[in-house]
Copies of this chain bind each other. A is one copy, B any other.
Amino acid sequence: MSKEAQQRMEKIVSLCKRRGFIFQSSEIYGGLNGFWDYGPMGVELKRNLKDFWWRRNVHEREDMVGMDGSIIMNRAVWKASGHEETFSDPMVDCRTCKARHRADQLPQKDGTPYCPACGGRDLTEPRAFNLMLKSYAGPLENDDNLVYLRPETAQAMFVQFKNILETSRKKLPFGIAQIGKAFRNEINPRNYIFRSREFEQMEIEYFCRPEDGLALTDYWLEERLKFYEDIGIPRAKIKIHDIPDGERAFYSKKTYDLEYEFPFGVSELEGVAYRTDYDLSAHMKHSGKPLEYFDDEKKEKFVPHVVEPSAGVDRTALALICEAFDEEEVTDEKGNKEVRTILRFHPRIAPVKCGIFPLLKNKPALVEKAKAVAAALRPHMMVFYDEAGAIGRRYRRQDEIGTPFCVTVDFDTIGENGPEKVDTVTLRHRDSMQQERIPIAGLRARLEAAIF
């Protein structure tokens, strides 16, 4: 990471803590490596992201339905999917100090790897270390009760394919969408919320006839690029990596990685993978249950193929923050220069849609009116009422959390300067800092048009 990128990342992390986006999990107990909490602003950002994904991919599409599967599933699922056997990183143990490390990340001296904890060279041969978190569901800690926390949400959609097909009466092509938590015992969690041990996914399994798989992979790549554009990450900022033959999973005929340039480097936001019939066939074989589709028109039974657009909630949220973060030099009314920090979020995903201020807090008529404006908007969008401090400082606070609009109730609003501007307010735009005068009656429609 360049020094500049590092400074930028530090500023982002500091802002996220200071403004209530992201905290270390269990911070007062020293935190927990690889686990994060979302504060008041972070939870709204994530909600907006997930809700828009759901609306775009489930509600607005006739060919998609949602589901919400349990995090803990029958262990047989992970045997069938191959995760129990192969979802692992290579590890070595140090025989001297008993520490465990990733074999491919060991430091070397004179070409010989050594233990970064104690310096010892007496290391075991590399062994596969499974990344699934284990637990036991049931009264005894034995093999019968062994379960895993899912390392991806996808498998529930394959396992429930038949139930969903039958109850939703969909025809191919159609998809299942799911948002939920997943867990991976990363040996080295890193890059803030980018690679953590607990994370959230937004995944689609789009089922189709075999001959449509490749074309639909390109179709979904395009859909996903549009999605990122619609939440404020321009197409030009997404690097598309067409994974070449020989580097894809053996069952995949096509895989695109969608990458974003974070301050810590270019990293994957999402994968769009054509997984053929690998998953359904594996579950059909292991469960002994039929998972075929019968095509009424062609009178033909077959195992559907699947295209999987799989995105990470946390890393998308981080990309949104990184993309939105900006600093600019501004001059205040007294001619002093200062740095304005802004999160230039798309209004659709901004945690707070509108800040609402009385010009002065010691003037009851202003306060009362501003509170009434806030109360009228509150059922329809996240608003923030603020009466503390100079109006300029209140704007800056909203800039820092990315609020696209601020409304100020002043003496014109309450008719103290004559009747012409009564019941109008100042609407201030975050990015341009420009202000306009609009009637309160039109406020809700105006804001909703911008944030929907």
**Residues of the B chain whose Cβ atoms lie less than 8 Å from the Cβ of A34:** 137
**Residues of the B chain whose Cβ atoms lie less than 8 Å from the Cβ of A133:** 135-137
User: B-facing mask of A48-66, CB < 8 A → 1, else 0?
Assistant: 0000001100011010011
Find residues 271-311 in chain A having any chain B CB closer than 8 Å to their own CB: 283, 286-287, 289, 291
Given A60-B378, A68-B46, A72-B32, A40 and B168 contact (CB-CB distance below 8 Å): yes
Is A77 close to B, CB under 8 A?
yes
* Chain B nearest Cβ from A48, distance in angstroms: 12
B76 touches A20 (CB 8 A): no
Given A29-B287, A77-B29, A385-B62, A70 and B139 contact (CB-CB distance below 8 Å): no
Is A229 close to B, CB under 8 A?
no
A71 touches B198 (CB 8 A): yes
Contact partner, A382, options B46, B59, B136, B381, Cβ 8 Å = B59
B32 touches A197 (CB 8 A): no
**Residues of the B chain whose Cβ atoms lie less than 8 Å from the Cβ of A390:** none
Is A357 close to B, CB under 8 A?
no
Interface segment, A156-164, A204-212, A249-257, A262-270? Answer: A156-164
User: B-facing mask of A146-189, CB < 8 A → 1, else 0?
Assistant: 01010000001001101110011100000000000101010100
Is A392 close to B, CB under 8 A?
no
Q: How many copies does the complex hold?
A: 2
User: B-facing mask of A1-20, CB < 8 A → 1, else 0?
Assistant: 00000000000000001111
B65 touches A40 (CB 8 A): yes
Among A67, A198, A381, the most chain B Cβ lie within 10 Å of the Cβ of: A67
Is A74 close to B, CB under 8 A?
yes
**Residues of the B chain whose Cβ atoms lie less than 8 Å from the Cβ of A164:** 20, 39-40
Contact partner, A163, options B20, B54, B385, Cβ 8 Å = B20
B159 touches A59 (CB 8 A): no
B28 touches A289 (CB 8 A): yes
**Residues of the B chain whose Cβ atoms lie less than 8 Å from the Cβ of A168:** 20, 39-40
**Residues of the B chain whose Cβ atoms lie less than 8 Å from the Cβ of A135:** 133-135, 149
**Residues of the B chain whose Cβ atoms lie less than 8 Å from the Cβ of A291:** 28
Interface of A is mostly: mixed
Residue of B nearest to A30 (CB): B74
B59 touches A378 (CB 8 A): yes
Is A388 close to B, CB under 8 A?
yes
A26 touches B159 (CB 8 A): yes
Contact partner, A139, options B66, B68, B163, B187, Cβ 8 Å = B187
Is A140 close to B, CB under 8 A?
yes
A60 touches B167 (CB 8 A): no
Is A373 close to B, CB under 8 A?
no
* Chain B nearest Cβ from A30, distance in angstroms: 7
* Chain B nearest Cβ from A186, distance in angstroms: 9
Contact partner, A20, options B23, B35, B167, Cβ 8 Å = B167
How many Å lie between the Cα of A156 and that of B40 in the bound state?
13
**Residues of the B chain whose Cβ atoms lie less than 8 Å from the Cβ of A183:** 72
* Chain B nearest Cβ from A248, distance in angstroms: 27
Is A69 close to B, CB under 8 A?
yes
**Residues of the B chain whose Cβ atoms lie less than 8 Å from the Cβ of A452:** 379
* Chain B nearest Cβ from A320, distance in angstroms: 16
Is A433 close to B, CB under 8 A?
no
Contact partner, A40, options B38, B55, B67, Cβ 8 Å = B67
A138 touches B185 (CB 8 A): yes
**Residues of the B chain whose Cβ atoms lie less than 8 Å from the Cβ of A55:** 379
**Residues of the B chain whose Cβ atoms lie less than 8 Å from the Cβ of A59:** 378-379, 381-382
Among A39, A60, A129, the most chain B Cβ lie within 10 Å of the Cβ of: A39
How many Å lie between the Cα of A38 and that of B176 in the bound state?
12
List 10 additional A-B contacts (Cβ < 8 Å) besides A29-B287, A32-B72, A70-B198.
A25-B69, A25-B73, A28-B159, A28-B289, A29-B286, A32-B73, A37-B69, A44-B66, A100-B140, A101-B139
25 contacts between A and B (CB under 8 A): A17-B167, A20-B163, A20-B164, A25-B73, A25-B156, A26-B159, A29-B74, A29-B76, A30-B74, A32-B74, A32-B137, A35-B73, A37-B69, A37-B70, A37-B156, A39-B167, A44-B66, A59-B379, A70-B198, A101-B139, A129-B139, A133-B135, A133-B137, A135-B149, A137-B185
